[in-house]
Structure 1
Amino acid sequence: MALSTVTLPSGFLLPSIHAAPPFFTQQPNATTQASATGHWKRLILAFARFHKLYTLSLADLEDTKSPWANVLRNERINRRLLPPYLSAILQDMNTSNQATFEPPTQKTSVLLYWNTPEQWADILYDWGVSTGQLNTILTFYEITEPALESALSGIPVVLLKKAIVLLQKNGRAQVISVADGEGVKLLPQTSVP
């Protein structure tokens, strides 16, 4: 059987390696396994970015209705990832700062960094500038569920908070208490003479 790419109904293109049965099995050779894990991490992050998915968990392996079903299994070759292998991939993603366990007290679900917190901080700040939101107090809801769809639509609050902390560190944001909890005020950048 020749390996070929497959375009999913969503338009996402699965790479040809996804049609290789060994891709779904942990390999005994460390070099081969490291290569396969690298392919899995790139595939997971690309799929998450394409579909704006922020989490991946071991529970997604068993849920055939999960948005991850077509990635974590390949019915054409009767293969699927098993929990220990996905667990190892999630651990590797956490170690390489491509994801973080969320909540941090468990090891079965990760928050994916298809954009790093630093990139999200820049996206948030650029969004604030482009929409005229500097010096305006915004609730987290207004950012994650804006009236007009934006790159921040649907971002988990935990990831938004990580971005805001980074903006605070360089003086581009201030956390403000609001009636419903917390909000943020994006501050104009001061130019250095």
Structure 2
Amino acid sequence: MNMTLAPYTLPSGFVLPSIHSGPPFFTQQPNPNSRKIATDNWTRLLLSYARHKKLFVLRAEDVDVPNCEWEEVLSNPRIGRKIRAAHLAAILAHMVTSGQAVYDPPNQTSAVLLYWRSPEEWAQVLHDWASSTGQLNTIMTFYEIVEPPVPSPLSGLPFPILRKAITVLTKSNRAQIIAVADGEGVRFLSGQPGR
């Protein structure tokens, strides 16, 4: 089968880059320079796909889970290729090392939380949301933030990422952690970053 390398639009509307049509992309490259280029391309692809689909968790074993939420990016049925779990684990390790993901739960190396927004970016989204919804100086539980009655950009945000974003806000005097009856809460303050 002779297939040209071209971007491909998935049914979800996500556009796969042309490199995704190349069989070598799905193979862990032995040459360090080629491996770095491929790993960087995989990293960009996984983060942009995660952002498009609002996915936060990726596991190396997802490559072998039929119909998983990552299937359309981890494989390419048009060329009969899919990434192997060990290759994906190496990419995840690179993402953790470069600060674009964190192992979750800690003390294992097969599942990560993806930072398609950095904790600093999430902190700004969080503070903007608190300001625009009138939540300043109100104590809210973490659960109320990630499971709001009206969907928000924070809906479904994993607690570890939320906690990092709140930590960023506390360092800039724009939030404070409050102990509440059923866990952790936060009070958003109107302080400005850097003050």
Same fold (TM over 0.5): yes
Pick one of 91, 101, 104 that aligns with 2:103. 101
Q: How many angstroms apart in 2 are the aligned matches of 1:191 and 1:68?
A: 36
| Counterpart residue number, 2:184 | 182
User: Where do residues 102-117 of structure 1 align in structure 2 (5 Å cutoff)?
Assistant: 102-117=104-119
What is the match of residue 125 of structure 1?
127
Cα distance in structure 2, aligned partners of 1:65 and 1:105: 28
Partner amino acid for 1:156?
P
| AA of the residue aligned to 2:136 | L
TM-score of the superposition, structure 2-length normalised? 0.95
Q: CA RMSD in A?
A: 1.5
Residue 92 of structure 1 is matched in structure 2 by: 94
Cα distance in 2 for residues equivalent to 1:99 and 1:173: 24
- Code of the residue aligned with 1:30 in structure 2: it is P
The share of aligned pairs that are identical, in percent, is 53
- Quote the Cα distance in structure 1 between the aligned partners of 2:86 and 2:184: 38
Give the whole-Å Cα distance in 1 for the aligned partners of 2:193 and 2:147.
Answer: 31
Separation in structure 2 between the aligned mates of residue 122 and residue 191 of structure 1, nearest angstrom: 10
Partner of 1:7: 9
In structure 1, C-alpha distance between the alignment counterparts of 2:42 and 2:169, rounded to whole Å:
31
SS at match of 1:185: strand
Amino acid paired to 1:136: T
Q: 1:106 to 1:192 in 2, by over 3 A?
A: closer
CA apart distance, 1:190: 5.8
Q: In the TM superposition, what is the alpha-carbon distance from 1:122 to its structure 2 partner?
A: 0.9
CA distance in 1 between partners of 2:129 and 2:11 (Å):
31
One-letter identity of the residue aligned with 1:177: A
Aligned residues between the structures: 193
The correspondence for 2:158, drawn from 147, 156, 159, is 156
Moved over 2 A (4+): 190-193
Q: Deviations over 1:71-129 (max 9, x none)?
A: 11111111111111111100000010010111121000000000011111111011111
Residue 27 of structure 1: aligned partner: 29
Q: Does 1:63 align with 2:72?
A: no
1:39-64 Cα offsets, whole Å, 9 max, x none, are 00000000000000001001211112
SS of the residue 1:107 aligns to: coil
Gaps of 5+ in 1: none
The aligned counterpart of 1:48 is: 50
- Give 2:59's aligned amino acid: S
When the two structures are superposed, what TM-score results if normalisation uses the length of structure 1? Answer: 0.96
Name the counterpart of 2:84: 82
